[in-house]
Amino acid sequence: MAKHLQDTTTLHNGVEMPWLGLGVFKVQEGQEVVDAVKTAIRHGYRSIDTAAVYKNEEGVGQAIREALEENGLKREDLFITSKVWNTDQGYESTIKAYETSLRKLGLDYLDLYLVHWPVKGKYKETWRALETLYKEKKVRAIGVSNFKVHHLEDLLQEAAITPMVNQVEYHPQLTQMEVKAFCEQHDIRLEAWSPLAQGQLLDNPALSEIANSHGKSVAQVIIRWDLQNGVVTIPKSINENRIVENANVFDFQLTDEEMERINQLNADKRVGPDPDHIDF
């Protein structure tokens, strides 16, 4: 169980991945993303999650370079994730997309590279490209994003390497129990995107009650629930106070009853697209 912001989980290939990181979905390229990433690193975050389609990899890269220098850190102190976008899926195009992401970030390697969505008829070739990048030691770990159980089963029939991570929409109204169980069974680490359901859960009465009893915010309770469920989480914020608050979750523990009460909020309700119906 994570006891500190820099605590890590060991992926099935032995790579250490921080339990808690900063997501930068919808964070604007330029000063906004530079400031958010630098703020997070200054306050102890070591994991940053971006993607080609977020169009902010250059800003993330600039922030990393500046933060390393300002905080006396080395590149290997950080864990950087990006993802191949749907229009780049396929074998050759994925290899090219990886090189483009590296160039934009100004990095020699990524810690984790993900297939962003299970594009029908393409994701197996895309995965083959990720396996190549991994075997050539260009990336430390590879995984998928938004894969349901049937996508994972299909992929595993032919994959030479089991994904290390599956990053999915995961929050108290979308607990993804089947996906979670499947990932646990196959030693794939589940990671939550939109853990706060893009703010839609922050005034939930049950969560507010639990938060009040701990003297914490609803956001902190949700992030704590992720961690106690063994799920890596990457809440997004550009606000310094919230970036700090989101990481201040290691000084309290939810009881089994509280965990169960939060689990019961599941309504299979998504804030993002259903991976079975993607047209982008």
Distance separating alpha carbons of residues 178 and 182, to the nearest angstrom: 6
pLDDT in tens, 194-214: 999 999 999 999 999 999 999
Identify the pLDDT of residue 1.
76
**Phi, psi (deg, nearest 5) at residue 229:** -85, 0
Residue 142: strand, helix, or coil: strand
| Superfamily name and number for 17-199+232-237 | NADP-dependent oxidoreductase domain (3.20.20.100)
Tokens describing residue 230: 């063994």
Is the pLDDT assigned to residue 138 strictly greater than 80? yes
Which tokens go with 21?
Answer: 């990181």
pTM: 0.98
The residue-averaged pLDDT of 163-179 equals 98
Q: Which long-range contacts (CB under 8 A, 24 or more apart) does 8-12 make?
A: 9/189, 9/230, 9/232, 11/141, 11/164, 11/165, 11/189, 12/162, 12/164, 12/187, 12/188, 12/189
Give the pLDDT band of residue 2 (cuts 50, 70, 90).
Answer: confident
CB-based contact 11:23 (threshold 8 Å): no
- pLDDT (0 to 100) of residue 89: 98
**Catalytic choice (45, 54, 98, 170):** 54
Helix, strand, or coil here: 24? Answer: coil
**So what's the pLDDT on residue 275?**
98
With beta carbons less than 8 A apart as the criterion, state whether 9 and 189 touch.
yes
Does position 122 have pLDDT exceeding 90, yes or no? yes
pLDDT at 142: 99
How are beta strands 165-169 and 189-193 bridged, if at all?
parallel
- Please report the pLDDT score of residue 69 as a whole number: 97
Q: Where are the beta strands (DSSP E) in 146-250?
A: 165-169, 189-193, 232-233
For residues 127-164, one letter each, b for 16 or more C-beta atoms within 10 angstroms of the residue's C-beta and e for the rest, the string is: bbbbebbbeeebbbbbbbbbbbeebbebbeeebebebb
Q: How far is Cα 249 from Cα 267, in angstroms, rounded to an integer?
A: 25
* pLDDT (mean) for 131-140: 98
The token duo for 65 is 């370079």
SS (H, E, C) 69-98: HHHCCCHHHCEEEEEECHHHCCHHHHHHHH
* pLDDT for residue 127: 98
- 45 part of the active site: no
Domain boundaries, the chain: 17-199+232-237
Q: Which has the closest alpha carbon to 107: 71, 142, 63, 153?
A: 63
Q: Tell me: the pLDDT tens digits for 35-93?
A: 999 999 999 999 999 999 999 999 999 999 999 999 999 999 999 999 999 999 999 99
181/191 Cα distance (integer angstroms): 13
